[in-house]
Amino acid sequence: MTVTPAPRPAAPAGLVDRMAATWANPRAAVAREIAGAEESRLLFYAFAASLLFTLAAVGAQRLNPAPQVAQDFDQWVTTQVVVGTFVRPLGLYGAAALIGLACRAFGGRGGWRATRAAVFWTALVAAPAGVMLTLIGAAASGPGGAPPLAAALGQAGGSALWAALLAPALAEAQGFRSGLAVFGVFCALAAGVAAVAALA
């Protein structure tokens, strides 16, 4: 009689594998992060996403510096690193709290931890693509320093990718049936901000 050994449990996927899987199925990926991510890991996600955002800003200014940045580029970089290391992660915590309150007002049932997992994880997953789009936009805009259309579109593209991931992630975290309504709210907010900026 041949005894078949029990299959070994699958090894947990690495960070890069989990990030790739999030693009394919954001809800399922975020559900795994909510179930398994302790606070130290969530903090790492917030820091890593913030530092990648800083990398995008520094790289864009290196490719196409604004006049005021070019006057003292090293000091500007130092400021960006300090903000990216200490201030922006705290901003992500604040954003997660506000997003969680807004979701609860519309019937969401998730807690702050689940919301933090959704916000921080999708910010990290979207960050590499955001870096590339920002750098491409800065390179395509040419010299000059004024915020040209290409650079603005590059930054907006990164934000749009994050919103596309965050919508289903929040739907999972808050128990919404679909992320489409959440994405619709994001689009409405973006349109409102654009309208205010155009009138200013």
Task: Identify the pLDDT of residue 34.
Answer: 93
The residues of the chain scoring below 70 in pLDDT are: 1-12, 141-154, 189-191, 193-200
- Separation CA 80–CA 23 (nearest Å): 29
Task: Identify the pLDDT of residue 19.
Answer: 95
Q: Return the domain boundaries, the chain.
A: 15-199
DSSP single-letter state for residue 146 = S
Burial label, 8 (beta-carbon count in 10 A; 0-12, 13-18, 19+): exposed
Q: Which two tokens stand for residue 111?
A: 């807690």
Task: Identify the pLDDT of residue 148.
Answer: 55
What pTM was computed for the model?
0.83
- Separation CA 54–CA 131 (nearest Å): 9
- Separation CA 101–CA 173 (nearest Å): 13
